[in-house]
Structure 1
Amino acid sequence: MSKQRLMSLDVLRGLTVIGMVLVNSAAVGAGAFPAFPILLHADWVGLTLADFVFPAFILMVGASIPFALSSAKSEGLTGELALRLLKRGALLFLIGLLLTISFVGLPDDLRIMGVLQRIGITFVLAAILFIKLSPRQIAATATGLLVAYWGLCLMPVPDAGAANLHVPGQDFSSYLDRLILGAHVYAKTAPLPYDPEGLMGTLPTLAQALIGVLAGLYVKTGEADAQRVARLALAGTALLVLGIAWSFAFPIVKSIWSSSFVAVTSGATLIVFAVLLWALDMKSWRPAIIAFPHAYGINAITAYVLHTYLMGPVLASGAAKALYDLGTTILPDRTASLLPYALVIVLTWAPVAVMRRQGWILKV
């Protein structure tokens, strides 16, 4: 298995990008098309289907690292490799920043962080740790980051008093983002400003990527047999249970990437990964529908950038409204709203499907 590309990894990555397109479309189109609440992010504490998408992608970023950098690990972190990793991370950060600028210009309070920015930073750090550390040390680092972040979030908040993790922004992690980023955070209004992709939240995000690294290492080092798949699913179940239990002390909050949020979403993702590994790489099933997420998965960043530009114009178009109006003649309003969202998904898929057919993979 170590010498081939995992279909399950590509498909799961593709499913997460499709999920991103869906939930972002639901958020952008919510004013015109009533969305199901599960397609919108939780206001603060809580978990919806939308909240699983980004962390699942982060875990897939980590799981891909052992496949992409296996030879580099044996050679160590050379200056050339470090520069290559930094360039890739910087390019992702720059693309994310340019996407923001292309939509809002250059205001004084321009948001600096974002989805691609966090992916870029997380990838570089996770890749370096993969090369430098043993699997046991990677596991210890991930655990240490999650526990340390719990303590960090509970520290007194200098501009708000005691930490209250049920109040947006009233935690030390958000305070540090306010202190460092100032007006450049995402949520600038009451109760307290915060950024869901802020600097401090990169710590637990890195832990999530390292969990993915461990999963990738485990899958890569042996054939996909029933026992190996079962162990991966068992690890996911254990993380899921741990996260639920931890949430009573450290609430599940995507906007600060709480440690319980990492455990729950990592656990759920590993279970899905195990199922896909069994079906696609162990049983070698290839249903025709797999081509759809696979196209998204092998050109994930391209698809993400495309949907960012397509989403607004498509959802504001007459075609989207016509689809919705037609749907409401036979479907409930919220179900009919899935039709314009599906239009965005299909139009985003079309270019990456052509790229897949031609064998083009645009690497960032």
Structure 2
Amino acid sequence: MNVQLPKTAGVTGTAVSKQAYRDGRDEAELISILRQHGMIAINTFHDKHRFTYSHAGVNSQLDYVFAKGCQTTGLSKQAHGLHDFPLLAARGEGSHVPIFAQLPKHWRIWKYGAGMARSHGSKAVSQYLLQHQQDLMTHVQQALPQPVTSMMQIDQALLEAQQAATASMPITNYSASKPWQDEELRGVLSRAWKHLRQARTNRTKTLGSLFGAWRHVAQFLRLIQTTRKACRRLRRQKLLDVLNTVQSEAHKQDMCGVFKIVDRIAPKRNRTRPQFRSQSGTVMDVSEEDNVNAGFLRQLYASSETDCVVPPPVLQCPLTRQEVLTSLEAIPCNK
């Protein structure tokens, strides 16, 4: 690509393209890559031939090369040559490497007409949450007494409003379309799972029901057989994504990031609740565990003995309905 990029000190560019729409778009894409990885672009064109990077055999030129800024100050490339620096576009022994030959696989390569796929999943989720919040506030206004004298009334009103909002607005699962799943693959998977659901609904012991269930299972297996190649590609893509992430975290020497990835892909195990036992070895019930925890906290903080069950706090002054509704509206919809 021959685009206009910022020049470094000591290097003058003479062969740059004019300001055009495609050149500007390529320039923005390349600058984003450079900023993301902390690199700069060197213009290899120069008025004098000995300062220009060209192949000895075919006399070809590269417009720009990428390098770390700490290794390209001044005119050091005149004395050492480009092959002494770890550049992405370098001159080998008798070979010519193109500028995009050694780009990492996880870098995005700009292509004309290849716009980013727009996903409507997040927008649908935001609309659903906003509608749910509006319905919840409506039910809170109906369930909240006047005036409010204790926190227990607010909790009870919120519980009733949540139940009423859930009953009036059923939960809808929204998911954004995956970039690796095209329209045809999504249609095949939808038909396959539809056949499986229909096969599970046939629970009668008649011969017709048994034949219908067998037919739906056969259709499900046939459709799933056609999607195995795409599913294998999906699993491989996820595996390569995990490997690239682990390599980048290890390169940054961030062990916390590596352990987060391990926790994400490790088999999930249910967290068991610890059981308290008395000195005789018998398992305590919930009330006995509360007494033991309360005694430990009193001993830890040197507090006076109080009842185990603390009643809800009573407000010093009653709140109006509008004050409670204003406080609830200030809470974000995703909290």
Shorter-chain TM range is under 0.3
- Structure ranking higher in strand proportion: 2
- Structure ranking higher in helix proportion: 1
TM-score, L = length of structure 1: 0.19
TM-score, L = length of structure 2: 0.20
